[in-house]
């Protein structure tokens, strides 16, 4: 029979550790040091919207990435061919891979989560046709109208040739990407995976969300702002950026002397039955894998990061779900939304923060998430005993 690449050796389940981080967010860009710096910063990344004129009566706030800082991360020749959201993804994936000092190859996978993808390019592509007919259709822009474009270019940039996956979901897509990435490492599909999320603020998505009444101030109730779990919470504030973690099989990380931050000790994702876009504290988990994971925990967590972002439909729901599974005494989780704004990279930032906490030892840290429509996630991040 004709030859082919040698079959992959059989692997059992691997333990999964975090060996690198890369982030481009409203406050910082860089490797794990930039994550630490952003989390410790006195100021929030949310400020008055700069990129375009705010929608009248809509949201005037956003957590934006400065274009100058982004330009410094991608050289001109590369930038020519990358849409803005692709530049964010490529920059952050490269930073993560450099931070981990991990090699490219057929054993390196990629998982990218995004809430809205490259809608800017979709609008541009359609606009070309609407203005000039078929000749106005740009072949170069077209690939960006498919949400896997960020993963395509990032895989090329970092040489990731194992599975590359793109996931779409609201609110918790960063958590989902890290969970799926960890699963790919745990079951031996890849030796390491770069996993995280990315979104950019573009005018068409922003105006659509304003008109849907999906951003603070929801219902026009002042003041505007991101106040997760607070009694006067009135909606999320948009952010943008990309954050990726390098997840690696423990034995491979040890073998190459990687700098291990923490371990993804366990994870689960599942669904709480809710209509699309619906959310609310009255809808409880009917036995999803997340409920099974959390209600089986005997020992309390050192800390919990939550997906709550100021949207009452998310905040109240998260509190109710955590009370259901961890008991009514569960402490209010920490939200990073006031710092970075709501975007696809936020879930990965939560896991990164949890990993940095867990690195100091002590009980594991929970990263919990729930989205309107019922997608629920949980990652348990612990100290790596190999660290």
Partner 1 sequence: MTEKEVLDELKTIVVERLRFDPARAADMTSDTTLPKGVDGSLGLDSLDFIELSVGIEERFGIVIDERQDLSDEFLSFGSLARFILSKSPAA
Partner 2 sequence: MTSDPSSRVVVSGLGVVSPYGLGVKSLWTGLSAGACAIRPVTAIAIEGLRSRVAAEVPAEALDALGVSRRRSRADRLALAAAREALADAGLDERDRRGAACVVGAVGGGMYEVEEWYWEEARSGRPAPGQGSLRSVLPRAHADAIAFRFGLCGPRETLVMACASGAAAVALGADLIRDGVVDTALVGGVDALTRICFMGFNALKLLDPDPCRPFDRERRGMSIGEAAAFLVLEDADRCRARGGRAHAWLAGAGMTTDAHHVTAPHPEGEGMVRAMSQALASAGMAPGEIDYVNAHGTGTPQNDRIEALALARVFGEGGVLVSSSKSLVGHTMAAAGSVEAVVTILALEHGLVPPTANLTDVDPAVPFDCVPVVARPTDLDAALSNSFGFGGQNVSLIFRRATD
Positions touching partner 1 (CB under 8 A) are: 76-77, 80-81, 132, 135-140, 143
Count of C-beta atoms within a 10 Å radius of residue 105: 12
Count of C-beta atoms within a 10 Å radius of residue 202: 23
183 binds, among partner 2, partner 1, none (CB under 5 to 8 A by kind): partner 2
Q: Which is nearer to partner 2, 36 or 210 (CB)?
A: 210
Q: Is 38 left (phi over 0), alpha (psi -120 to 50) or beta?
A: alpha
Among 145, 230, 256, 300, binds partner 2 (CB under 8 A): 145
Q: Is 44 in the site for partner 2 (CB under 8 A)?
A: no
Q: Which is nearer to partner 2, 189 or 324 (CB)?
A: 189
Residues 67-96 that bind partner 2 (CB under 8 A): none
287 binds, among partner 1, partner 2, none (CB under 5 to 8 A by kind): partner 2
Residues 365-384 that bind partner 2 (CB under 8 A): 373-375
Q: Which is nearer to partner 1, 135 or 222 (CB)?
A: 135
Residues 6+ apart with CB under 8 A from 340: 25, 26, 27, 38, 45, 63, 239, 241, 346, 349
Q: Residue written as tokens 């603020």? A: 201
Report the C-alpha gap between 250 and 131 in whole angstroms: 54
Residue pair 158/194 in contact by the 8 Å Cβ criterion: yes
Residues 259-318 that bind partner 2 (CB under 8 A): 268-277, 285-289
Q: Is 11 in the site for partner 2 (CB under 8 A)?
A: yes
Residues 6+ apart with CB under 8 A from 42: none
CB of 85 to partner 1, least distance (A): 16
- What b/e readout covers 121-147, taking b as 16+ CB neighbours within 10 angstroms? bbbbbeebeeeeeeeeeeeebebbbeb
**φ, ψ dihedrals at 377, nearest 5°:** -135, 155
Copy the structure tokens of residue 307.
Answer: 């997906």
- Which range of residues in 37-45, 207-215, 242-250, 298-306 is near partner 2 by CB under 8 A? 207-215
CA angle 129, 54, 276 (to 5 degrees): 70
163 binds, among partner 2, partner 1, none (CB under 5 to 8 A by kind): partner 2
Residue pair 314/369 in contact by the 8 Å Cβ criterion: no
**DSSP structure string for 365-385:** EEEEEE-TTSEEEEEEEE--T
Q: Which is nearer to partner 1, 9 or 139 (CB)?
A: 139
- Which range of residues in 10-18, 30-38, 245-253, 340-348 is near partner 2 by CB under 8 A? 10-18
The CA-based diameter of the chain, rounded to the nearest angstrom, is 72
CB of 110 to partner 2, least distance (A): 7
Q: Which is nearer to partner 1, 72 or 278 (CB)?
A: 72
77 binds, among partner 1, partner 2, none (CB under 5 to 8 A by kind): partner 1
Q: Is 386 in the site for partner 2 (CB under 8 A)?
A: no
Among 187, 213, 295, 387, binds partner 2 (CB under 8 A): 187
Q: Is 186 in the site for partner 2 (CB under 8 A)?
A: yes
Q: Which is nearer to partner 1, 46 or 88 (CB)?
A: 88
Q: Which is nearer to partner 2, 71 or 275 (CB)?
A: 275
CB of 135 to partner 1, least distance (A): 4
Total residue count of the chain as it appears in this document: 387
Q: Which of the 8 DSSP states describes residue 160?
A: B
Is residue 20 helix, strand or coil?
Answer: strand
Q: Residue written as tokens 């190999």? A: 386
Q: Is 134 in the site for partner 2 (CB under 8 A)?
A: yes
Residues 95-124 that bind partner 2 (CB under 8 A): 104, 106, 109-110, 115-117, 122
Which is it for strands 164-168 and 108-114: parallel, antiparallel or unpaired? parallel
Q: Which is nearer to partner 2, 47 or 128 (CB)?
A: 128
50 binds, among partner 1, partner 2, none (CB under 5 to 8 A by kind): none
Residue pair 247/367 in contact by the 8 Å Cβ criterion: no
Q: Is 247 in the site for partner 2 (CB under 8 A)?
A: no
Q: Is 1 in the site for partner 2 (CB under 8 A)?
A: yes
Nearest to 115 by CA among 201, 50, 179: 201
166 binds, among partner 2, partner 1, none (CB under 5 to 8 A by kind): partner 2
């Amino acid at each position: 029979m004709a030859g082919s690449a040698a079959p992959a050796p059989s692997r059992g389940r691997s333990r999964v550790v975090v060996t690198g981080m890369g982030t481009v967010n409203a406050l910082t860009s860089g490797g794990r040091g930039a994550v630490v710096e952003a989390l410790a910063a006195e100021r929030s990344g949310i400020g008055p919207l700069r990129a375009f004129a705010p929608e009248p009566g809509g949201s005037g706030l956003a957590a934006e990435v400065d274009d100058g800082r982004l330009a410094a991360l991608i050289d001109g020749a590369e930038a020519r061919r990358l849409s803005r959201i692709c530049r964010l993804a490529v920059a952050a994936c490269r930073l993560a891979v450099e931070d981990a000092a991990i090699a490219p190859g057929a054993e390196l996978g990629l998982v990218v989560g995004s809430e809205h993808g490259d809608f800017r390019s979709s609008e541009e592509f359609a606009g070309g046709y609407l203005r000039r007919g078929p000749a106005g259709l740009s072949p170069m822009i077209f690939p960006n109208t498919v949400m896997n474009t960020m993963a395509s270019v990032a895989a090329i940039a970092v040489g990731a040739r194992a599975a590359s996956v793109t996931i779409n979901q609201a609110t918790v897509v960063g958590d989902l990407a890290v969970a799926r990435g960890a699963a790919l490492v745990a079951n031996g599909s890849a030796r390491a995976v770069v996993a995280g999320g990315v979104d950019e603020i573009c005018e068409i998505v922003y105006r659509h969300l304003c008109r849907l009444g999906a951003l603070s101030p929801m219902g026009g109730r002042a003041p505007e702002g991101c106040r997760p779990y607070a009694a006067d919470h009135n909606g999320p504030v948009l952010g943008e950026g990309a954050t990726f973690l390098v997840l690696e099989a423990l034995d491979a990380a040890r073998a190459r002397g990687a700098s291990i931050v923490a371990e993804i000790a366990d994870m689960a994702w599942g669904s709480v039955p809710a209509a699309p876009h619906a959310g609310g504290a009255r809808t409880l988990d009917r036995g999803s894998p997340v409920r099974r994971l959390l209600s089986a925990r005997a020992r309390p967590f050192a800390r919990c990061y939550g997906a709550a972002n100021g949207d009452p439909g998310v905040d109240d729901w998260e509190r109710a779900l955590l009370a259901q599974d961890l008991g009514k005494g569960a402490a209010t989780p920490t939200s990073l939304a006031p710092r970075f704004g709501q975007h696809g990279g936020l879930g990965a930032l939560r896991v990164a923060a949890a990993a940095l906490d867990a690195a100091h030892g002590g009980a594991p840290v929970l990263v919990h998430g729930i989205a309107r429509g019922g997608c629920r996630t949980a990652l348990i991040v612990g100290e790596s005993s190999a660290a």
